[in-house]
Structure 1
Amino acid sequence: MALKSTIYKVTLNIADMDRGYYGDHQLTLAQHPSETDLRLMVRILAFALNASDSLTFTKGLSSEDDEPELWDRSLSGDVNVWVEFGQPDEKWLRKACGRAKQVHLYCYGGRSTDVWWQQQQTVLQRYQNLSVWQLPEDALQQCLPLVQRHMTLQCTITEAQIWLSDASHNVHLIPLPLKA
């Protein structure tokens, strides 16, 4: 018998003073059985950092198509923003950079991200529309108490710093720009 995804309902209030974006979003996230709570929080953070009225999640881990984790498409189908997580290979990022106006990669995983970046840094520099950010492992671990089946989260972004909170927890993150 196949394991089913766990469904999370997230009310996300975003105040992104760096971009001048303010909005409330009702998100329904399906957590694949192989997906960790940490990766779920990375998905929520990436949504907050790129939020717009047209930003949507794709099928993600369950996708058989060449789709990103998140994307912002125009009404004509052009991909304005392509968002990925983790440590993908260069071929996947090349394809993303060819299809989208902007590609944002959010890396996590502590020391493994440092090793991955050392191996990929030179080749990824040629993609002008690619930005790569490392999310600090210790701060991501502090986000885990926020994970509930029904979450109400407030996210404030200012001066490239993120504050994520619910009624009883507050987490401060400072993403490290590897390639801006």
Structure 2
Amino acid sequence: MAIGATMHTFEVQLADVDRGVYEDLSLRVAQHPSETDAYMITRVLAYCLEYEEGITFSAGGVSTGEEPAILVKDLTGLITAWIEVGAPDAQRLHLGSKRADRAAIYTHRDPAKLLSAWRGKTIHQAEDIRFRSFDSVFIDEAVRCLTRRNTMSVSVTEGQIYLELNGTNLETQFSEHAIE
């Protein structure tokens, strides 16, 4: 018998000053058995940093052949944003960039290794893809704070992220990278 997903809840207060987005979110996040805690917290942060009307997690929690980890659809069902988490391959980025108006990547992995793996590969409008990475120490500290039921406050100002997760305060600045 296959092991099922573990459900986590996040009560999030989001204040993204950089984008003018202020929301209270109740997220039910299914963690796939193969998904690490670091991947899941990166996925939740990416959801918050990309939050807009129509955003949703993919059905399985992790990227599948048909969908990224997070996507945004308009009212007609068209994909407007393709948001990858972790270490997607160049072919997935190419597909996502072609299928959506915009694409983004959020990772907790070494961005230099990802950029190296993508170098020389065909990626549709690579220069327009937003690629952000989080400091691994920040992600590790956030993972230590995770429980099945989480309260979280995410504030973003001038690229600085202030995270309060279950009573622990963390901060980091995400790094932006250009895909060549």
State whether residues 94 and 124 of structure 2, in contact with CA within 8 Å, keep that contact through their aligned partners in structure 1.
no
Question: Which ranges of structure 1 fall in alignment gaps of 5 or more residues?
Answer: none
Please give the TM-score of this superposition, normalised by the length of structure 2: 0.90
Q: Map residues 1-180 of structure 1 onto 2, 5 A cutoff.
A: 1-61=1-61, 65-110=65-110, 113-121=111-119, 123=121, 124=123, 126-179=125-178
Measure the CA separation in 2 of the matches of 1:4 and 1:137.
Answer: 27
Please give the TM-score of this superposition, normalised by the length of structure 1: 0.90
Map Cα deviations across residues 110-154 of structure 1 (whole Å, 9 max, x no partner).
3xx322212324545842431111211111111113211111100
State whether residues 146 and 165 of structure 2, in contact with CA within 8 Å, keep that contact through their aligned partners in structure 1.
no
CA-based RMSD: 2.0
Give percent identity, aligned residues only. 27
Count of residues paired in the alignment: 178
Q: CA deviation at 1:82?
A: 1.1
Map Cα deviations across residues 74-94 of structure 1 (whole Å, 9 max, x no partner).
011221111101111111111
Give the letter for the 2:118 counterpart.
Q
State whether residues 101 and 129 of structure 1, in contact with CA within 8 Å, keep that contact through their aligned partners in structure 2.
no
State whether residues 8 and 148 of structure 1, in contact with CA within 8 Å, keep that contact through their aligned partners in structure 2.
yes
Measure the CA separation in 2 of the matches of 1:150 and 1:114.
Answer: 34
Q: List structure 1 runs of 4+ shifted beyond 4 angstroms.
A: 61-65, 121-126
Question: Which ranges of structure 2 fall in alignment gaps of 5 or more residues?
Answer: none
Give the letter for the 1:151 counterpart.
N
Give the letter for the 2:8 counterpart.
Y
